[in-house]
Structure 1
Amino acid sequence: MKKILIIGLAILLFGCKNAAEDNGKIKVVTTTTMLTDLVKNIGGDAVQVEGLMGAGVDPHLYKASEGDVSKLYNAEIIFYSGLHLEGKLVDVFERMEASGKKTIGLGEFINKDELISSKLFASNYDPHVWFNIQFFKQFANKVTDVLSEAHPEKLDYFSENNRVYQEKLDALEIEVKDKIETLPKEKRILVTAHDAFNYFGNKYGFEVVGLQGLSTATEAGVQDVQRLSDFIINNKVQAIFIESSVPRRTIEALREAVLSKNHDVTIGGSLYSDALGNPGTEEGTYIGMFKYNVNTIVEALR
């Protein structure tokens, strides 16, 4: 009820405002940090981007504040990841669409046959699609199309930005594959806090096991810890990984369970899963995040 009142107030206060700023830039709101970085690359100087979530924020648990609703209603275009990643924002997006706002769930445009299905997750699909670079390239194409459709006079500008970014993503794919090839196949077992890396595993030949499920809204229990600790011992896994957007205590508890069974396993580092690093750092970009993750994984497991 409170959320409905907030949204209604936002309509009254902000619904009649022009979505573009006085500087003439297209006002775009994004949810996750990955999308914020993507839209900045495609939109360039023609777009003013506001991201709702910052570094280390878990999109599975994120709830819209009153300020967020105001930003959304003042935007011309809203990009969100979709596939129920931002599970607690679904009703807000529905209201935005009902009000006539251009609201784009980028994950919804990926061919469903290429997605990883899951009966244990609300959308029935694993939403962590950005860990397949080819899917992120599709995101970039869709963002380009949406921006160009809204402002056809800037089509050439957005298209050129996309061309340059696509080349960077292609170079990232090559670099990532070369790095992973240095890791023996038998050592490609990735144990993390939750199941965010399945697309990564499918693409690069890793067996991926998460302590929690696809959504961090589900909590790991004692049986989950014991099950995974046995898996680590049986497969002689030498490193496990925490995630920047998930409390580290879950992986620390897992490590303690493994150590109690006289098997040594280290924490190989912190991976960026559902959010990028701090703004202004290399890990604060999608490309930098991907490189950092791969380097961290390969070095710890080697």
Structure 2
Amino acid sequence: MIFKKNFLLSMILFLMVGMLMACSPQKTVQGTEEKGKTDGKIQAVATIGMISDIVHNVGGEHVAVEGLMGPGVDPHLYKATQGDIAKLEKADIIFYNGLNLEGKMADIFVRMASQKPAIAVSEKIEEKVLREPPEFDGHYDPHIWFDVKLWMQAVERVCDGLIELDGAHKADYEKNAAAYLKKLEELDKYARVQLQSIPQESRVLVTAHDAFGYLGDAYGMEVVGLQGISTDAEYGLRDVQNLVNLLVTKKVKAVFVESSVSPKAIEAVVQGAKEKGHDVKVGGELFSDAMGEAGTEEGTYIGMVRHNVDTIVKALK
């Protein structure tokens, strides 16, 4: 009698465990839940829009990407919200820039890396090609997307990361990456031809913070920022005066505001130059640390770069 009771209890427990397992979401080899909850797509999270754009282009139909930082958001000052943490925890893979761009989120990426792939798209770029100006206090310049050739290496790192996670779609990722890289080759040529059409003496790009150094090195522009590598850096009256003197001495025609940085600093520089008898205009708004609104040309990496190039050329040529 006792044996029969124990046998019945064992059978009931066995059936209950089986039912629970059947109801639980199952993971594939690649780490995503079976089709139904995620529609079979890799769930990716990217920090800045430029990286989201890479993941969208390379991942294609196999990847759903969600960006944390939208238009007008400054990644240097960005602090992750509880909602961001939830997105990162649910993701199958995380892509971020690295090089201290997302400085306030560094610890989060380290923690997440023990649970899932958390990839800095800059990690395979050789240090010898990274900018390390003295005023950056020993840090590399993180704004690598302004040299299209360097950004192409970020595309390759995203492609490798997706293949490492989801080898079943390796051919598709490689095909998508190749098509996107071809477009970036054309973009690089466009930027080079257009920016070099500006007379040599007028190739001085003055902006709110030092985000365009890679653009200057790649395409032959002298770049000067009022603030340093990060918008978290402070500037003082002397910085404004030095920049005003540069504008007057070099007879710079225009300065530029940035979509993710307050225009107040640049407006002070324009006023200072005017007081010294040199009229300099605001040549337009450039996208530096964030792209434009979704659904617009500037809401893509290629559209953002073309907008910047065209705006600079129109104001300085």
Letter in 1 for 2:294: P
Match of 2:147 among 125, 132, 136: 132
Q: Which blocks of at least 5 consecutive residues in structure 1 are unaligned? A: 1-15
**What is the aligned-residue RMSD (CA, Å)?**
1.5
Which of 295, 300, 308 is 1:280 aligned to? 295
Partner of 2:230: 215
Distance in 1 (alpha carbons) for counterparts of 2:137 and 2:295: 34
CA distance in 1, matches of 2:32, 2:206: 44
1:22-59 CA-partner distances (Å, limit 9, x unpaired): 30100000000100111000001110101000011000
Q: Is the 2:32–2:40 contact (alpha carbons within 8 Å) kept by the matching residues of 1?
A: no
Structure 1 pair 104/152, CA: closer, same or farther in 2 (3 Å)?
same
> Do structure 1's residue 107 and structure 2's residue 90 form an aligned pair?
no
Q: Please, which runs of 5 or more residues in structure 2 have no aligned partner?
A: 1-25
Which residue of structure 1 lines up, in the alignment, with residue 95 of structure 2?
79
Q: Which has the larger radius of gyration?
A: 2
Is 2:62 the counterpart of 1:25? Answer: no
Q: What corresponds to 1:11 in structure 2?
A: none
Residue 68 of structure 2, aligned match among 52, 77, 98: 52
Q: Compute the displacement of 1:122 (Å).
A: 6.2
- Are the equivalent residues in 2 in contact too, given 1:83–1:125 (CA < 8 A)? yes
What is the CA deviation profile of residues 152-211 of structure 1, one whole-angstrom value per residue up to 9, with x for unaligned ones? 110011111011101100111122222123211111000000000000000111110000
Residue identity in the other structure for 1:61? L
* Aligned twin of 2:183: 168
**Which residue identity lines up with residue 90 of structure 1 in the other structure?**
A
* Distance in 2 separating the partners of 1:108 and 1:242: 30
Q: Is the 8 A contact 2:52 2:67 kept in 1?
A: yes
State the partner residue of 1:263. 278
- The answer to whether the aligner puts 1:93 opposite 2:106 as a matched pair is no
In 2, the alpha carbon distance for the partners of 1:290 and 1:232 equals: 25
Matched with 1:7 is none
Q: Which residue of 2 aligns with 1:296?
A: 311
Residue in structure 2 matched with residue 117 of structure 1 by the alignment: 132
The CA distance in 2 between the partners of 1:219 and 1:161, in whole Å, is: 42
Task: Tell me the residue number matched to 2:18.
Answer: none
Using the TM superposition, give the Cα deviation of residue 220 of structure 1 relative to its aligned residue in structure 2, in angstroms. 1.7
AA in 2 matched with 1:172: L
1:124 Cα offset (Å) = 1.3
Aligned partner letter, 1:81:
N
2:92 paired with 1:67: no
- Which residue is 2:56 aligned to? 40
Matched, 1:192 2:229: no
Instruction: List structure 1 runs of 4+ shifted beyond 2 angstroms.
Output: 16-22, 118-123
Q: Structure 1 stretch 229-238 or stretch 89-98: which is displaced more? A: 89-98
Establish whether residue 244 from structure 1 lines up as the match of residue 259 from structure 2.
yes
